Amino acid sequence: MTNANHRVVQWATGNIGRKALRGIIEHPSMTLAGVHVYDQDKVGLDAGELCGLDALGVATTGRIEDVLAAGADCVLYMPRMFDLDEVCRLLESGSNIVTTCGQFHHPPSMDATTRARVEAACQAGGTSIHSTGSSPGFISEAVPLVLTSIQRRLDTIVIDEYADLSQRNSPEMLFDLMGFGRDLAPFEQFRADYLRSSFGPSLRLTADAIGMPLDEVTASGELATTPREIQIAAGTLKAGSVAAQRITITGRRDGHELITFRATWYTTTDLDPAWEVHDTGWHVAVHGDAPLDVALRMPVPLEHMAETSPGYTANRAVNLVAAVCAAAPGIRSTLDLPSTTAVFG
């Protein structure tokens, strides 16, 4: 892998996309080649001003044709919704892709037709594509692979993710989408299944890497309520309503729980039933002949978490551009790429 300057397009400018855009602009070995946006009121804006920097003279566009014409080395693809046609057109045009969409974490478990079409596009354009992010990605692949590198017997890996949402002022997200504040009812399995579709491939990749492929990946969820009325940034939760949820994704091998990812999102620590919760961040427990207990805390005031947390996902994507551009054509997983190295100057 060389330190050549890469021409990069940022696709989409939501919370994560704007952070990635700024990362491209400020990177010492990247040049911004273009920006794709969805909102018409963003079309034609200067890319620098869009992410809080000085004007660059690079205007945003809402047309894929403009992105194709830019001839970028790489597109950071962070769309509202994954579009296979878009992805294949970009790859065929000669632009590599780093994406926060999770379709490409574990190529063997992809839909066969989709995989074949993307691989054909990569071969036609001489390009590669890679899925990454903080979770899944960093915490479900990079971190456990490092921690298992000092083991010679592995029993289990348990990855816990904690998110304190009490200061997240997003009523639509918390109440409408996630179901906080509702009366207690059986857990809606589709929520667990959605997380399984995101994390299952990533857990399979990690298990494959250590020579212990998974037989199955299952998902389950549970809820906890608040015993008293509480006020959070997004609104009021009445006593007895849902105040926390936990989803567990479990990868089994030979009937044994080998690798588990567990996401706990909560709005208060006063829960019924009582759950053990930690500050926002991750906890990884490795059980083997060299046991490890590792906490990765995000030391950010909760009122600033919404503006800070996108960087955990966006920065990893930016840091992988050079490796993906240097990779052989095709769908490239974490196992196909060198360890991610951030370049600051």
76, 322 in Cβ contact below 8 A? Answer: no
Residue 72, pLDDT above cutoff 90: yes
- Domain residues of the chain, as ranges? 6-132+320-336, 138-306
Task: Give the pLDDT confidence score for residue 345 in this predicted structure.
Answer: 79
Per-residue model confidence (pLDDT) at position 2: 45
Task: Read off the pLDDT of residues 73-132 as tens digits, 9 standing for 90 and up.
Answer: 999 999 999 999 999 999 999 999 999 999 999 999 999 999 999 999 999 999 999 999
User: Please, what's the b/e burial string for 24-53 (b: 16 or more CB within 10 A of its CB; e: otherwise)?
Assistant: bbebeebebbbbbbeeeeeeebbbbebbee
Judge whether 119 and 331 are in contact, CB under 8 Å: yes
What pairing do the DSSP bridges indicate for beta strands 154-164 and 281-288? antiparallel
Amino acid sitting at position 305? M
Q: Mean pLDDT, to the nearest integer, of 274-279?
A: 96
pLDDT confidence band for 3 (50 / 70 / 90): low
pLDDT of residue 16: 96
Does the domain at 6-132+320-336 match CATH 3.40.50.720? Answer given as yes
pTM: 0.94
Residue 287 phi, psi dihedral angles, 5° rounding: -105, 120
3-state secondary structure 204-249: HHHHHHCCCCCCEEEEEEEEEECCCCEEECCEEECCCEEEEEEEEE
Q: Is the pLDDT of residue 1 over 60?
A: no
**Strand pairing class (216-225; 230-232):** unpaired
pLDDT digits (tens, 9 = 90+) for 154-191: 999 999 999 999 999 999 999 999 999 999 999 999 99
Query: Could you give the CA distance from residue 193 to residue 222 in angstroms, rounded to a whole number?
Result: 13
Q: Which two tokens stand for residue 294?
A: 């590792």
Q: Give the whole-number percent of the chain exceeding pLDDT 70.
A: 99
Residues 6 or more apart in contact with residue 214 via CB below 8 angstroms? 203, 204, 207, 251, 252, 253, 258, 259
